[in-house]
Amino acid sequence: MTWIYSLFSGPSGFSANSRAEDVTNGIDGTGLTAIVTGASSGIGLETASVLAMRGVHVIMAVRNLEVGQKVKAGICAKTPNAKLDVMELDLSSQASVRKFAADYIAKDLPLNILILNAGIMSPPFTLSQDNIELQFATNHIGHFLLTNLLLDTMKKTSTKSQKEGRIVVVSSDLHKMSYPEGIRFDKINDEKSYSAFYAYGQSKLANALHAKELARRLQEERANVTVNSLHPGVIKTNLTRNQGIVASFFSRLALSFLKNIPQGAATSCYVALHPQVKGVSGEYFADSNISKAGKFVDDPEMAKKLWEFSLNLTQLK
């Protein structure tokens, strides 16, 4: 796993030490519009802030509007010319996802960049409002539905603007530590065999498989939209708030290897904006460089099965 980071630059010229501001230095995002989910804290906040700094119109998709507005004010204090909007989105609720997408489309806004960043980690077994295990529902299904509902908008924007659309899926190297069978299609809601840790890995594997299969489909269509997944790094954010004593111990033990938030947001910003990524699709990134994903990510049958499974869960079929 990419947990002990190299300080040496990779082929891109960047390393684990690079910050989001570093990897976007000199890039002008004026005229681009991006949605960032989970933009009110952690690497989502930093991603939104840096994109806005580079001139991108950022829609902050957040669960709590009041918190989102305060975060927006903080970004604007730092970047007075920032163009930001805050919209409510609860990824654990398909009704909320559908409302967000409908409201966004009604605004007739373009969409160049979609960053699927929000997530939860290792809660006790819980079912979402739609009766789906909460990590799988929030980290994968909510983002899968959101992407499908906004995909036509992205395609139209790329055609009209003649600019490549980019979908950025924040996965994790922990996708390599899912259940032994990868995605447990028949046991998503099995409380007896539920492991908070492996279920998180499963949801992150689903993120990477989603990116892989969507990239394949868009390439077949010759759509000018790319899709890539990434590992942001091991970062101390409130994502770990549900970890138990053992996990917290190892988090403290690994403290010297953790990235800070600006470093953690770097790969998202790199994949979203950097010209080096133009035309690149279906890849997995870490430390702002193409990296090696786990074995299941290269399993086209699992990717296709997950796609059909997700369509059924979101009633898109």
Angle between helices 142-161 and 196-221 (to 10 degrees): 30
Torsion of CA 216, 275, 53, 169, to 10 degrees: 20
Whether 104 sits among the annotated catalytic residues: the reply is no
Of 208, 37, 56, the C-alpha closest to 114 is 37
Burial pattern 212-235, b for ≥16 Cβ within 10 A else e, equals: bbbbbebeeeebbbbbbbbbbbbb
Which one of 5, 104, 179, 194 is the catalytic residue? Answer: 194
Task: Reduce the DSSP state of residue 185 to 3 states and report it.
Answer: coil
> Angle CA(130)–CA(136)–CA(137) in degrees, nearest 5?
30
Which residues is 34 bridged to in the sheet? Answer: 58, 113
Q: What type of residue sits at position 24?
A: T
Terminal-residue alpha carbon distance, the chain = 36
d(CA 231, CA 293): 9
Task: Say if strands 113-116 and 165-170 run parallel, antiparallel, or are unpaired.
Answer: parallel
The Cα 208–Cα 229 span in angstroms is 6
Q: Which are the catalytic amino acids? A: 194
